[in-house]
Structure 1
Amino acid sequence: MITDTRWYWAAGFAVLMLMIYLLQPILPPFLIGILLAYLGDPAVVRLEARGVPRMAGVVVVFAAVTGIFAVLLLILIPLLINEIGILRDSIPAMVVWFNQTALPWFESRLNVDVSSFRLETVTDTIRENLGKTGGIVGIILQQATRSTMALLTWLVNLAMIPVVAFYLMRDWKEIMQRIRGLLPRQHEGLAVSLVRDCDEVLSSFIRGQLLVMLCLGVIYSLGLWLIGLELALLIGMVAGLASIVPYLGFVVGVGAALIAAIFQFGDVFHLVAVVAVFSLGQVIESTLLVPLLVGDRIGLHPVAVIFAVLAGGQLFGFVGVLLALPIAAVLMVLVRYMLGRYKDSSAYRDPEEDILTTGDGQAVAESEAPIP
């Protein structure tokens, strides 16, 4: 008796979704660990190709990533806290300019009442939310230390991330081989092909686009720092992160940097310099970063990325955000495969064309004969 295995796959998928929903509190460190292992595996494979044992390669990659991350935190966090303090102190002048200069200009040009847009109370509200220097760290610690159990859970989850990442990176090849060994024999070739396509999509986005975003953040921050902008690091990193959507980082960065330059310098030279920094970043992105880091691989469309992240967060919270991109990549590959199957089926193709292309040579010759 032939059994329809589709019901088993559907039941397995339903159970998986239920387990994700029920186990949301404990999944983040495992998902982040899987992500880090996935990102680090290519470097380990390259070291293996040069004769380095896998365990030694894992130790080297893990130590390098940990060291770089620690150095960046030690350097960036104090700088960002300092720039947040500068931004907090600049807000009153910005609000006064908006109320006394920008709004009257719009009111005189557009002949509309803009009194409802005045920001009389926004100064105190924003300054309270930003708090004093180090206030953000205090808020995080306050939330984490609300109770002893919450503090212990937070510390355990934080400590589990590198542990999970290390062991998964060490055994990544073996895990992939065991998963492949469990695939149905008659569908192994198709499943492996689809998984490779999924990996191509994910690698082009995660390993490519995220590196492009990081490089753009560094370029923007360095360029704004060279022209003397006080909020260079904050604006540059925000613009780099916003570059997940093409041109959004450029628009956000230029807008924020121009406003900051107006209040700090108030001259045309620095405004032109800001535009030049972001224009140079766009040129470097299109001519160097994207061809080098992303190449011609097909990644996720920016709109699909935004929708996937928002939908995952709405359905499963932070766990959904972590799972959004892998699931979106899988769905994209499956949709592409089903679309190809559909175009090869009789439901799409013209039956008369099939007769002409699959008939005898005479039919084909007649179809290719010139029209008299």
Structure 2
Amino acid sequence: MFRAIVNKWMQRYFSDEEAIIFTFLMVLFFVVIIFFSRMLAPFLVSLVIAFLLQSVVSAMERLRLPRMVAVIVAFSFFLGFLMAVLFWLLPLIWQQLLSLTRELPGMVRAAQVWFVEMQAAYPQFLSQQHLDQLFTEASGELRKLGQWLVGLSLSSIPSLVAWLIYLILVPILVFFMLKDKQKLIAYVSSLMPEKRSLISRVWREMDEQITNYIRGKSIEIFIVASVTWASFVWLGLGYAELLALLVGFSVLVPYIGAAVVTIPVALIALFQFGISSDFLWVMAVYGIIQALDGNVLVPLLFSEAVNLHPVSIILAVLVFGGLWGFWGVFFAIPLATLLKAIFNAWPKLHGDDRGL
């Protein structure tokens, strides 16, 4: 009985030659990504950037500019942005991170005084034993953070060499991906089997969605980070650039990211302003930014790019983020959409089978 069920299932989904080839290609793709993602990191980064710049190139081509001129202009914008990040944003973020690390012990002491006062006022909720345990653990974590920073500075030379290699390889790869886009696509197509209706169907469904997703997510990060930075500077909150960067990248993890980043925003505002109207203003403005992002910006940017249930999105973030780290989180939604497209397209090869 069990063998009959398995045979019927195999006949339904894998009796076609194209289905077997497509399954092999998908398994090969995931194996390569899982085991060689670190080595392929420059290529993956370049591919994402090329996807983003292709929109700029296409827009300029619609204005009757030659493709080579459009590629050079778009690539020049990319190099200018890269220089701004390397020589302005990253040093500023690093300086603020070091400054925050130096101020953390004072913040912990201030929190200890506040908790002691709360314990004296409400002894039924907070015990002295729990407070001692809490601050002992906090002190241990601070020592670990200090050791990590020292270790990071000592190991900066090989890391610097790796980053220099990336900074050379990525712009070169991006330029040739833009310049020779049609040649690269034609070469990859020549490697595919002649019978590829399933592959073509999935690719047509995914091409526009992945492009829209990468472009939309990059625009969302930039807008959210910029608005957050301007708001925090206007409110006089310290570490505005560092917090804005955290809030911007938090949109990569839907639902979870906003909740997690709320903690450092609230803590820094609390230690700087205390329980005051300034603290409430910071939290109110931050809440408005998150609400506008979720209810206005995301629907505008992703109305046609993503059609997944929130549970599917969270599950994809957990699985792919656990496998591939940052890039797994970044591509979690496109990969989940890819799997959905495959599942939707696959049964159409053999029609509906009501026997199972």
TM-score range, shorter chain: 0.7 to 0.9
- Tell me: CA distance 1:19–1:208, structure 2 relative to 1, closer, same or farther (3 Å): closer
Paired residue for 1:355?
A: none
Tell me if structure 1 keeps the 8 A contact 2:210–2:334: yes
Tell me if structure 2 keeps the 8 A contact 1:244–1:302: no
Tell me if structure 1 keeps the 8 A contact 2:237–2:272: yes
Tell me if structure 1 keeps the 8 A contact 2:321–2:329: yes
Q: Does 1:167 align with 2:176?
A: yes
Which amino acid in the other structure matches residue 73 of structure 1? L
Q: CA separation in 2, counterparts of 1:302 and 1:9?
A: 24
Paired residue for 2:6?
A: none
Tell me if structure 2 keeps the 8 A contact 1:201–1:299: no
- Tell me: CA distance 1:154–1:232, structure 2 relative to 1, closer, same or farther (3 Å): closer
Question: Which stretch of the first structure deviates more once superposed, 173-182 or 259-268?
Answer: 173-182
Q: Does 1:289 align with 2:286?
A: no
Q: Does 1:231 align with 2:271?
A: no
- Tell me: CA distance 1:4–1:158, structure 2 relative to 1, closer, same or farther (3 Å): same
Match of 1:99 among 95, 112, 117: 112
Q: CA separation in 2, counterparts of 1:209 and 1:348?
A: 43
- CA deviations on 1:125-181 (whole Å, 9 max, x unpaired) are 52663579x969735523436xxxxx4x65334311111111011122333344446
Q: Does 1:76 align with 2:85?
A: no
Which amino acid in the other structure matches residue 142 of structure 1? I
Tell me if structure 1 keeps the 8 A contact 2:216–2:301: yes
Q: Does 1:345 align with 2:329?
A: no
- Tell me: CA distance 1:267–1:312, structure 2 relative to 1, closer, same or farther (3 Å): closer
- Tell me: CA distance 1:332–1:231, structure 2 relative to 1, closer, same or farther (3 Å): same
Paired residue for 1:263?
A: 271
Tell me if structure 2 keeps the 8 A contact 1:218–1:236: yes
Match of 1:144 among 138, 155, 159: 159
Q: CA separation in 2, counterparts of 1:329 and 1:136?
A: 40
Tell me if structure 1 keeps the 8 A contact 2:49–2:174: yes
Alignment of 1:85-164 (within 5 A): 85-102=98-115, 105=118, 108-110=123-125, 113-115=129-131, 117-120=133-136, 122-123=138-139, 126=142, 129-130=145-146, 138-139=153-154, 141-144=156-159, 151=161, 155-164=164-173
Which amino acid in the other structure matches residue 35 of structure 1? V
SS of the aligned residue for 2:56 comes to helix
- Tell me: CA distance 1:250–1:69, structure 2 relative to 1, closer, same or farther (3 Å): same
1:258, CA displacement in angstroms?
2.7
Instruction: Give ranges in structure 1 of 5+ residues lacking alignment.
Output: 146-150, 350-372
Q: CA separation in 2, counterparts of 1:220 and 1:269?
A: 19
Tell me if structure 2 keeps the 8 A contact 1:29–1:157: yes
- Tell me: CA distance 1:220–1:321, structure 2 relative to 1, closer, same or farther (3 Å): closer
Identity of aligned residues (%): 22
Match of 2:44 among 27, 31, 45: 31
Q: CA separation in 2, counterparts of 1:164 and 1:232?
A: 34
Match of 1:210 among 206, 218, 231: 218
Paired residue for 2:53?
A: 40
Which amino acid in the other structure matches residue 47 of structure 1? M
Question: Which stretch of the first structure deviates more once superposed, 16-25 or 58-67?
Answer: 16-25
Question: Which stretch of the first structure deviates more once superposed, 45-54 or 98-107?
Answer: 98-107
Tell me if structure 2 keeps the 8 A contact 1:210–1:244: no
- Tell me: CA distance 1:111–1:64, structure 2 relative to 1, closer, same or farther (3 Å): closer
Paired residue for 2:203?
A: 195
- Tell me: CA distance 1:11–1:338, structure 2 relative to 1, closer, same or farther (3 Å): closer
- Tell me: CA distance 1:225–1:72, structure 2 relative to 1, closer, same or farther (3 Å): same
Which amino acid in the other structure matches residue 167 of structure 1? F
- Tell me: CA distance 1:68–1:241, structure 2 relative to 1, closer, same or farther (3 Å): same
Paired residue for 1:302?
A: 313
Aligned length: 336
Instruction: Give ranges in structure 2 of 5+ residues lacking alignment.
Output: 1-14
- Tell me: CA distance 1:140–1:288, structure 2 relative to 1, closer, same or farther (3 Å): farther
SS of the aligned residue for 1:118 comes to helix
Paired residue for 1:67?
A: 80
SS of the aligned residue for 1:52 comes to coil
Which amino acid in the other structure matches residue 119 of structure 1? F
Match of 2:71 among 48, 58, 66: 58
Tell me if structure 1 keeps the 8 A contact 2:253–2:329: no
Q: CA separation in 1, counterparts of 2:258 and 2:35?
A: 40
- Tell me: CA distance 1:341–1:228, structure 2 relative to 1, closer, same or farther (3 Å): farther
RMSD: 3.7
Which amino acid in the other structure matches residue 242 of structure 1? S
Higher relative contact order (CA 8 A, sep 6+): 2
Q: CA separation in 2, counterparts of 1:307 and 1:193?
A: 28
1:226, CA displacement in angstroms?
0.7
Q: CA separation in 2, counterparts of 1:135 and 1:125?
A: 14
SS of the aligned residue for 1:245 comes to coil
Q: CA separation in 1, counterparts of 2:125 and 2:16?
A: 71
Q: CA separation in 2, counterparts of 1:4 and 1:199?
A: 24
Q: CA separation in 2, counterparts of 1:140 and 1:125?
A: 21
Q: CA separation in 2, counterparts of 1:348 and 1:237?
A: 54
